[in-house]
Amino acid sequence: MRRPFRAALPAAAMLALALLTPSPLTSQQGEVRFDIVRGNWTITSKNVENDEWVTKTVEIHQDGTRIWGRFQGPNQEGGIEGTIENHHIVFATKTKNVLTFRGQVTGDTMSGNYGIHGRHAPFKAVRTSTEPSQ
């Protein structure tokens, strides 16, 4: 006589272990991990209209995964709001022509793509100081 319950036991144990094991985005306590990105950054991005490289700056403040600060570009300036989860950063400018940056952070550098008016282009950034201006 076969016992199907016994055969299902190892599979059920593995499923329970998988569900209880923290994912790479969480710590042992279930908290979301995030990089520290506060500071001043210089962004170099490709212009969506003419493929020229343009320099912008962003000052980032941080509270956990929430980020905010100030954006300065060649044609506009304003605030920013966004998030950082693990190494993934997303922030948008609070300007007339909104720019949305999405990328990966590695230490004092970040890179990815930004979008404006439905067009996208690459960007890269370097942190120039670890504390934002006051």
Q: Where are the domains of the chain?
A: 39-129
pLDDT digits (tens, 9 = 90+) for 12-68: 554 444 444 333 344 556 667 899 999 999 999 999 999 999 999 999 999 999 999
- Per-residue pLDDT, 117: 95
| Burial class for 113, CB neighbours closer than 10 Å (0-12, 13-18, 19+) | middle
pLDDT digits (tens, 9 = 90+) for 66-117: 999 999 999 999 999 999 999 999 999 999 999 999 999 999 999 999 999 9
Query: pTM for the full model?
Result: 0.76
pLDDT for residue 3 is more than 90: no
Q: Which residues contact 101 (CB under 8 A, 6 or more apart)?
A: 43, 82, 89, 90, 91, 92, 112, 113, 114, 123
- Per-residue pLDDT, 75: 93
- Per-residue pLDDT, 119: 97
- Per-residue pLDDT, 24: 39
pLDDT for residue 10 is more than 60: no
- Per-residue pLDDT, 86: 94
Query: Which segments within the chain are labelled E, that is strand?
Result: 39-46, 53-63, 66-72, 77-85, 88-94, 100-106, 109-116, 119-129
Query: Looking at residues 121-127, what average pLDDT do you find?
Result: 98
**Cα separation of 75 and 59, whole Å?**
17
The answer to whether the CB of 89 falls within 8 A of the CB of 101 is yes
What architecture does CATH give domain 39-129?
A: Beta Barrel (2.40)
- Per-residue pLDDT, 77: 98
Check residue 74 and report its DSSP letter. S
- Per-residue pLDDT, 132: 78
